[in-house]
Amino acid sequence: MADSRKRQSSILEIDGLNHYFGERQVLFDIGLQIQEGTRHAIIGPNGAGKTTLFNTITGKFKPTGGAVLFKGKEVTGFKPDKLSRRGLGRSFQINSTFANLTTFQNLRMAILAKENIRFNFFRNLDKMHRITAETDAFLTRVGLMAERNQPANLLSYGKHRCLELSLAMAIDPDLVLLDEPAAGMSREETHQMVKLIRDLTRDKTVVIIEHDMDVVFSLADRITVLHHGEILATGSPEEIRTNQAVKSAYLGETEVGDVA
Partner 1 sequence: MKRNMRGWLIWIPMIGALAIAPQVLGAFEITIVLGMAIFALFSISLNLLLSFAGLLSFGHAMFFAAGAYGTVFALEYIQGVPLLPAVLIGALSAAFLALALSPLLVRASGHTFAMLTMAFSQIMYAIVMKYSTITGGNDGISGFPIPALGIPGIGDIDMTMERNFYYAAITILGISAWVMWFFTRTPFGSIMISMRDNPERVAYLGFNVSISKAVVLVVSAWFAGVAGSVYALFQNMVSVDGVLGPMSSFTPLINCFIGGLGTFIGPVFGTGIGTMLTELMSAHPEQAQLVFSFVLILLVLFLPGGVMTLYWKVAAKWMVLQNRIQSAFLKGNHG
Is 3 or 126 the residue whose CB approaches partner 1 more closely?
Answer: 126
Considering only 17, 43, 75, 128, the residue that binds partner 1 (CB under 8 A) is 128
Considering only 50, 90, 160, 241, the residue that binds partner 1 (CB under 8 A) is 90
Q: Which of 23, 95, 35 is nearest to 71 (CA)?
A: 35
Select the span of 27-35, 37-45, 64-72, 86-94 touching partner 1 (CB under 8 A).
86-94
Cα distance between residue 97 and residue 85, in whole Å: 19
Q: Which of 157, 150, 158 is nearest to 192 (CA)?
A: 158
Q: Does 125 bind partner 1 (CB under 8 A)?
A: yes
Q: Does 117 bind partner 1 (CB under 8 A)?
A: yes
Is residue 49 packed enough to be buried (19+ CB in 10 Å), middle (13-18) or exposed (0-12)?
buried
Select the span of 13-21, 35-43, 89-97, 191-199 touching partner 1 (CB under 8 A).
89-97
Select the span of 13-21, 39-47, 108-116, 231-239 touching partner 1 (CB under 8 A).
108-116
Query: Which residues inside 200-239 make contact with partner 1, applying CB under 8 A?
Result: none
Q: First and final CA of the chain: distance in angstroms?
A: 19
Q: Does 105 bind partner 1 (CB under 8 A)?
A: yes
Q: What amino acid is encoded at 141 in this protein?
A: R
Instruction: Supply the minimum distance, in Å, between the C-beta of residue 254 and partner 1.
Output: 36
Cα distance between residue 89 and residue 58, in whole Å: 8
Q: What amino acid is encoded at 199 in this protein?
A: D
Contact in structure between 102 and 148 (CB atoms under 8 Å): yes
Considering only 10, 15, 36, 101, the residue that binds partner 1 (CB under 8 A) is 101
Q: Does 181 bind partner 1 (CB under 8 A)?
A: no
